[in-house]
Amino acid sequence: MIESSSSFIKSSIPLYHNAVKSVIFKCAELLMGIFIFKLFSLVAARSRQFTSYLMFTEDYIQRTLYISSRGLSRAGLVVLTFSLLNLVFSLYGTLLWALDSPGYIFKASNATFANYNSQRNDNPPYIIQLALNRTQLEGITERLPQIVGSDLFNPGLNYTLTGKVSNRHGTPEVITPARQDGVGARVWLDSEGFSVSPDTISMYPSVGKIGNATFDTKCVKFDGGSAVWNCTFDNAFAMEYVQSVTGKPEVHWSDATELDTRYILPERLDNIWVSVGQGGGSAMMTQVFTVTKGKRRHTFSQATLKVTMITSPGDPFARGEVTDLVRRTWSSNETEQKNTLIGNIIDGIMNAQNNNLSYLFGANTGGNNNKSAFQSEWGFYTPQNNNNSQYSIVSITSTNMTLIRSETLDKAPEPFEKCERSNFQNEAFGGKVTKTDCAASEPAVGQQGFYGQVDTAAMMIIRGLGASRSNVSAESLDNDVLNWIWDNSGTIESLMVARGYSVSVDPSLVQISVDKLMVAMSRLQLALSCLALFLASVMWLVLMVATDPHWTGTLLANLI
C-alpha cells in the first residue's frame, strides 16, 4: 500500500467485493504474460529460431538445460531473456496490489436512525459542549455534524447526522391565543390555557421591597400578547437578576393553575448551564425540548444567546463600548443596527451608571403564525454586598423558541413516582424520565394533579464567545465568533432537532448518512490493467499479421 494525495493514485473506483478486484488483477497479470509470449514469438520468428520458440512453453528446468546446451548463442539469449522477463511480469498482479492507496473507500448511503437501532447507544449524553476558538472556526464548521451527532451509536458505525428530519404526522398545531391581556408572548397549545413561553417573570425581582428600596412594577407594560419593560431600580435588586439563569422555558399547564406554572430547568448534577447561564461570561445555548399533556406531545426548538461585559467599581463603562456591544448583538445587518431604539437603550444604561442605579429594558412578542415566542433583555446591574458595589455588568440576553412538531401519542405519560404534595410534572432528560418536581411543589391543598411531562431532549452549550471579565466590547464578544454563530445558526438548529428527534421523539424520522467500507481501485491501477489488455491485443494482432500461422499456433492452455 502506498500513500498519496493524488486523485489519480488514490483509490476511488468502487468494486463492491474483493473477489472482483482479484479477478481484474489476475487477468491483467495473464494478459501481460501473453504480451511477453507474443513479443518473443515475434522475435523468434524474425530470428528464425523455431526451436527457441518451442522452448517458451516449457518449464524452467527444460529452458535451463536448453540455455546451457546453447551457450551464448542467439537462440540461448532469446530463451534466457524471455525467461527473465516472463518471471518479472508474472509479478504484475502483485505490483497492482502494491499500488493500493489505500485499496478501499468509504461510500456514503442514506438511512434512517431506526435502521440501525441495534447499534444505538442506550445512554447517549443529552448535553453537548462546544468551545469556540476564532482560529479554528473553519474546522469546527466542517465537524459540526460529527460534534452534534456524537455518541448516538456504539463504536464501529461510521455515521453522520445530516440535519434532515421528516415531520410526517406531526405538523405543529397552535390555537388562537386564549388570553392576551397581561400574559405576554406565548405559544398556545390548547383551549384550556396550556402554553409555553420564555420566562414571563424575568423582569420582576422575587420581592418588591428590600430595606428602603422598592421596585416599581409599573415599568412593565403588557399589550395584546406582547410585553415591554423599561425599568430603572435600586442596586439592592441587582444581585438577583445577575444570579438568575437565563433561557428557562416556562410551561403554563392550564388557566386554572396559572399561578402554579413550571419551568424546564437545567439539571444541576450534569448541566453547566446552571452556572454558565447566569453571571458574567458570553455563551450560547440551543436545545430541543418536549412538553406532553395527556396524549398530546409538542416539540420545541430554542436558542438563547447571553452576552456580558464587566467592569470594576470606579471604572465605569465607556459609552462607545456599550454602544458597540448593543449594536452588534442587535443584528448582523448594519441597517438594522441604526434602529432608534438602540439609542434609547444605551441612554438608559449610561444614565443608570451615572446615577448609581441598575437598569433593565426588555420585550417579548410572538411570531411565525403564533408558533414562536421571542424575548430579549438589555440590562445594566451593579450587585452590592453590605451596600458596597461588587462590580458592574452589562448583560444582553435573547431567547427564541419555536414549536416544530405536534403529535398524539398512543399512551399518555404516567407519574414517575408517587407525590403527596400538590401538582407536579415528570422531568426527563435525553428521552429518559429520571425524576419529578414533586419536592419543590407546594403542600397539597385539595385534589392533587399530575400536569404531564417535560423532556430536555438535547442541548448544546457553546462557550468561547469572548473574555468573561472585560469591559471592552471587542474582547467580551469576539466579532469573528459572533459572525460564525449568525452564519451557522440554521445548521446548528437543524442538527440539534435531528438529535432531539432521535432520542426523544421518533428515530425513524431522522436521516443519517452511513459510510460503509468498500473495496476500491485507483485510476492508476485501472490504467495499468487496461495497458496489459492493450499490449496483449496489439501484439497478438501484430504476430498474426507479420508471421506465418505456425508461429501463432501454440495453445493458450500451454502458456497458462
Across 257-283, average pLDDT: 93
**Span 137-160, mean pLDDT?**
94
Map 465-486 to HEC letters.
CCCCCCCCHHHHCCHHHHHHHH
How many residues does the structure list for the chain?
Answer: 560
pLDDT of residue 122: 92
Alpha-carbon torsion 424, 428, 431, 434, what sign?
negative
pLDDT bracket for residue 552 (50, 70, 90): low
Co-location of 282 and 392 in the same domain: yes
- Segment (H or E) for 244: none
Any domain includes 137:
no
Q: Give residue 417's pLDDT.
A: 92
Task: Note the pTM of the prediction, 2 decimals.
Answer: 0.83
200 and 290 share one domain: yes
Domain that holds residue 431: 187-505
Top pLDDT among 6 and 151 is at 151
Q: Which long-range contacts (CB under 8 A, 24 or more apart) does 418-422 make?
A: 419/448, 419/450, 420/444, 420/448, 421/448, 422/260, 422/448, 422/449
Q: Specify the DSSP element, H or E, that contains 25.
A: helix 18-47
Q: Cα separation of 61 and 431, whole Å?
A: 76
Residue 168 confidence class, pLDDT cut points 50, 70, 90: confident
Query: Whole-angstrom Cα distance, residue 45 to residue 284?
Result: 83
What's the pLDDT score for residue 558? 45
Q: What is the pLDDT of residues 323-334, one digit of tens each?
A: 999 999 998 888
Average pLDDT on 544-551 reads: 71
Q: What is the pLDDT of residue 337?
A: 87
Residue 135 lies in a domain: no
**Domain end: 479, 505, 531, which one?**
505
- pLDDT score at 493: 97
Q: CA nearest 558: which of 84, 53, 96?
A: 53
pLDDT(543) > 90: no
- Is the pLDDT at 53 greater than 90? The verdict is no
281-295, 375-389, 536-550: the lowest-pLDDT one: 536-550
Band the pLDDT of 57: cuts 50, 70, 90.
confident
Where a domain ends, among 478, 505, 532?
A: 505
Mean pLDDT for the stretch of residues 13-35: 90
Q: How many domains does the structure of the chain reveal? A: 2
**From CA 392, how far away is CA 407, in angstroms rounded?**
46
Say yes or no to pLDDT of 316 above 70: yes
What digits encode the pLDDT tens for the residues 454-496? 999 999 999 999 999 999 999 999 999 999 999 999 999 999 9
C-alpha cell at 333: 445587518
Q: pLDDT class for 555, splitting at 50, 70, 90? A: very low
CA distance 534 to 532: 5
CA–CA dist 376, 354 (Å, integer): 24
- Looking at the structure, do residues 302 and 336 belong to the same domain, yes or no? yes
pLDDT digits (tens, 9 = 90+) for 496-534: 999 999 999 999 999 999 998 889 999 999 999 999 999
Q: What average pLDDT score do residues 315-342 get?
A: 93
Residue 543: closest CA among 40, 63, 28: 40
Q: Is the residue at 63 inside a domain? A: yes
Residues 499 and 538 grouped into a single domain: no
- Note the pLDDT tens digit of each residue in 176-214: 887 878 889 999 999 999 999 999 999 999 999 999 999
Asked whether residue 296 is assigned to any structural domain, the reply reads: yes
Question: 236 falls in which pLDDT band (50, 70, 90)?
Answer: very high
Residue of 97, 131, 126 lying closest to 23 (CA atoms): 97
136-160 average pLDDT score:
94
Q: Is residue 122 part of a domain?
A: no
The 3-state DSSP class for residue 517 equals strand
Residue 559 has pLDDT above 60, yes or no: no
* Average pLDDT value for residue range 116-144: 95
Beta-strand pair 213-214/209-210: antiparallel
- The lowest-confidence range among 36-40, 44-48, 235-239 is 44-48
Model confidence at 557, pLDDT cuts 50, 70, 90, reads very low
What pLDDT sits at residue 560? Answer: 44
Is it the case that residue 91 has pLDDT exceeding 60? yes
Instruction: Indicate whether 93 belongs to any domain.
Output: yes
Same domain flag for 457 and 532:
no
Spatial distance between the Cα atoms of 182 and 250, rounded to a whole number of angstroms = 15
**Could you tell me the pLDDT band of residue 242, with boundaries at 50, 70 and 90?**
very high
For residues 471 and 544, state if they share a domain.
no
556: pLDDT strictly greater than 70: no
Residue 173: is its pLDDT beyond 90? yes
Q: SS3 helix, strand, coil % of the chain, rounded to 5? A: 35, 30, 35
Same domain, 463 and 536: no
Please state, in angstroms and as integers, the Cα–Cα distance from residue 144 to each residue in 129, 209, 509, following that order: 12, 47, 20
Cell numbers given for 23: 479477478
Residue 513 lies inside a defined structural domain of this protein: no
Q: Are residues 208 and 288 in the same domain?
A: yes
Residues 420, 476 within the same domain: yes
- The chain-wide mean pLDDT, for the chain, equals 90
Q: Are residues 530 and 400 in the same domain?
A: no
Q: Residues 501, 526: one domain?
A: no
On whether residue 146 sits in a domain, the answer given is no
Whether residues 16 and 66 share a domain: the answer is yes
